[in-house]
Amino acid sequence: MTPAVELCDVSLRIDGTSILHKVSWQVATHERWVVVGANGAGKTSLLRIASLFLHPSQGTVRCLGRELGHCDLRVLRRRTSLSSVALTAKLEPTMTAAQVVMTARYGALAHWWHHYDDSDVDRAVSLLSRFGVSVIADRTLDTLSAGERQKVLLARTLMNAPEIVFLDEPTSGLDIGAREVVLGDLSDLAADPDSPSVVVVTHHLEEVPTSFTHALVLKDGKVLAQGPIVETLTSTILSDAYQVPLMVEHNDGRFTARLVTS
């Protein structure tokens, strides 16, 4: 089967600074990947390249079988979905939750530039219901809690029935309770065999959802390790990635890490 994402020797330089260096990575259909690494390792840049929102300085990027630079991005992006803190900040805050979800149909940041019909409304409400927040469908984005907003954004990522979903720190800024609820939603999404491929970037091992299958570890813009998640998120590899001695534990599908002290 055609990989959902395929990067070959991808490098990125910005203002003379190397951000990514010869990254090769493949996400197969219906795999669920987490990308981790220290601050400045290149995680968000990698996600932006894989999701077709940033061109690399060199290398080849293919998404859903189409090569970046040789396809119509407007069409291809409708088959993918990206959610990030930066995107959230650009959404019109006076939109209702349902309108926020619907704007994904056209990749818009506000709802008034396009026409939506009853089927769009029904799908948006249905997706909100999937994440347990249909009761807030008519509330505006700026009145929602951080946890409610994250659920709305998760619903938004599925509006166009994408073939791959990219999530940049989906639990950022949440308290423990809201974080656990959103992680539960992500775990359920990952466990659903009919769900699209999913790639999540996170800083914290405890925010890796259960049911995820693979992991990519970046260090200084290079791939330190990648592969099946339990074989990749190990004490040895992550101690190297974060440059501190770590003890990584994996229990009931969840990962934790603590500093090893003498």
For domain 5-259, give the CATH number. Answer: 3.40.50.300
Residue 106 phi, psi (nearest 5): -110, 5
- Residue-level pLDDT at 11: 97
pLDDT at 26: 96
The per-residue pLDDT for 172 is: 86
Residue 101: left if φ>0, alpha if ψ -120 to 50, beta else—which one? alpha
pLDDT given for residue 139 in this prediction: 97
Q: Is the pTM of this model over 0.85?
A: yes
Strand order in the sheet with 58-63: 17-27, 5-14, 58-63, 66-67
154 touches 83 (CB < 8 A) = yes
The pLDDT profile of the chain, 262 residues, written as one tens digit per residue, is: 789 999 999 999 999 999 999 999 999 988 999 999 999 999 999 999 999 989 999 999 999 999 988 888 788 888 999 998 888 888 999 999 999 999 998 877 888 888 899 999 999 999 999 999 999 999 999 999 999 999 999 999 999 999 999 999 999 889 999 999 999 999 999 999 899 999 999 989 999 999 999 999 999 999 999 999 999 999 999 999 999 999 999 999 899 999 998 7
Q: What is the pLDDT at residue 248?
A: 97
How open is the CA angle 101-104-106, to the nearest 5 degrees? 140
Q: Domain coordinates of the chain in residue numbers? A: 5-259
- Could you tell me the maximum CA-CA distance found in the chain, to the nearest angstrom? 63
**CA torsion sign, 210 to 199 to 42 to 44?**
negative
Instruction: Report pLDDT for 75.
Output: 83
Q: What is the pLDDT of residue 71?
A: 82
